[in-house]
Structure 1
C-alpha cells in the first residue's frame, strides 16, 4: 500500500466526502457486508453485461495486489456478480476489496473469508459466463464515474471516489476537516455554555 493510500485509510469517508463537497459519493445502497470493513486503494475497473461475470474473473487475473476491484454491473439485483469462491480468488491474489454496483451471493461464506465486499445486497441466482465485458475502462458505479487508478475509500458509512488528479489536495483537506472536528468536539461537547455559544453562532449565519 502506498503512502497516500495509507493516509486515506486513516480517514473516515465522511471527511473525504466533505473535502469533495459530496460530489463523488456512491449510492448509499452500496454498503459493506460487515461494519468493520475499511478499504483505501486504487480502482481496477470492470464493466460487465448484466448477469454475466466472466470479465470479473479476467479482472481478478489482471489486477495487482492492493487494488480494489470496482464492478459496473448496471445495478442489477437478480444475478450475483460473485460468490464466496470468486471472492476467495480475489483474496488469494492479494486484492484489497471489491465494490460492486450489483449483488453477491454466498454471503455467509464471504463474511467468513473476512474480505471486504461492498454491494447492493445479496441474491441466490448465479451469474453466467457467456463473455463480454471490459476491464480498465471508465465505469459508472453507484451514480459516479470512476477510472482505473482513482482511489476508492470505503467504510461503514459508504464508499467515496477520489479522482487521481485531486488526491493530494483531497487528503490534505480531509485531514484538516478531521482536525477541525476534533477541536470543535473537545471545546464544545459536554459544556453547556459552549454548546449554546456554538448554536447561537451557527443560527445567526
Structure 2
C-alpha cells in the first residue's frame, strides 16, 4: 500500500478526480490552511460530537506515521476540534496531516508549524473533553463516507477520498489521464496556431 500511496502522491488531485468521474469530493468549504499543503495517506477515522475532542486524542494512539487523521466534527464552527497543542501532537506522532469538517483555533501558530491541516477555518472557542465518540468506524466528513484505511488525497483544490478497494484501479486511470494531459499540453500549448487548431477540433462543426 505504501508504494501505491507514493505513486498517487505524485499525481495531481484533478487527475485523480477525473479518474473517479468527479465523485468522492469533500465539501469545498474544507480547505488547507496554506495553499501549498498536499496530503496523501490512509485514513484514521474519528467521530466526535460537536465541540468535544477527547476521542481525537484517543485516535492518535491508533495511527501510524503517514496516516491522515480524519475527524467527523459534525461541521461544528463555534467550538474547535483542535488547537495548536493537539495539532502539534499529530505532527510529533508522524501523521501525514489532519482533515476535519470542523474548525481549529490558534490558527497562526498552527500555520507556523507548516503542517498540513484541512478544515473549515478558525474560531476562538476551545473544545470540551467529555469523551463521547468512536474511532476507526465509517464516518461522514464533508458529505462523503470515509472508511478506515481509505486513501485521502488533498491539496489547494480540495480533498477527495479513494475507497481502499479501488485504489489500484483509480491509480491506473489517473496515470492514464495524466499522460493524456501531458500530450495535450505538448500539442496545444506550443504556439498560437497550435492552440487555435486544438480549439477548432473541440468545437462542433457548423
Task: Give the TM-score range, shorter chain.
Answer: over 0.9
In the alignment, which residue of structure 1 is the partner of 2:169?
169
Q: TM-score, normalised by structure 2?
A: 0.96
What per-residue deviation string (whole Å, max 9, x for no partner) do you get for residues 102-132 of structure 1? 1111111111111110001110110100111
Three-state SS of the structure 2 residue aligned to 1:118 is strand
Write the distance in 2 (CA, Å) between the matches of 1:202 and 1:115: 42
Write the distance in 1 (CA, Å) between the matches of 2:106 and 2:12: 28
Cα shift at 1:165: 1.1
Cα shift at 1:90: 0.8
In the alignment, which residue of structure 2 is the partner of 1:181?
181
What per-residue deviation string (whole Å, max 9, x for no partner) do you get for residues 156-200 of structure 1? 111111111110011111111111111111111142222222222
Write the distance in 1 (CA, Å) between the matches of 2:98 and 2:192: 44
RMSD: 1.2
Runs of 5+ in structure 2 lacking a partner? none
Corresponding residue pairs, total: 205
Write the distance in 2 (CA, Å) between the matches of 1:145 and 1:198: 39
Matches within 5 A, 1:126-141: 126-141=126-141
Matches within 5 A, 1:31-70: 31-70=31-70
Matches within 5 A, 1:1-205: 2-204=2-204
Write the distance in 2 (CA, Å) between the matches of 1:142 and 1:17: 16
Write the distance in 1 (CA, Å) between the matches of 2:170 and 2:139: 21
Write the distance in 2 (CA, Å) between the matches of 1:18 and 1:143: 19
Give the stretch that moved more between structures: 184-193 or 130-139: 184-193
Write the distance in 2 (CA, Å) between the matches of 1:142 and 1:18: 19
Write the distance in 1 (CA, Å) between the matches of 2:163 and 2:137: 14
Cα shift at 1:101: 0.6
Cα shift at 1:20: 0.4
What per-residue deviation string (whole Å, max 9, x for no partner) do you get for residues 36-85 of structure 1? 11111000000001111111000112211111000001111111000110
Write the distance in 2 (CA, Å) between the matches of 1:62 and 1:190: 50
Cα shift at 1:88: 0.7
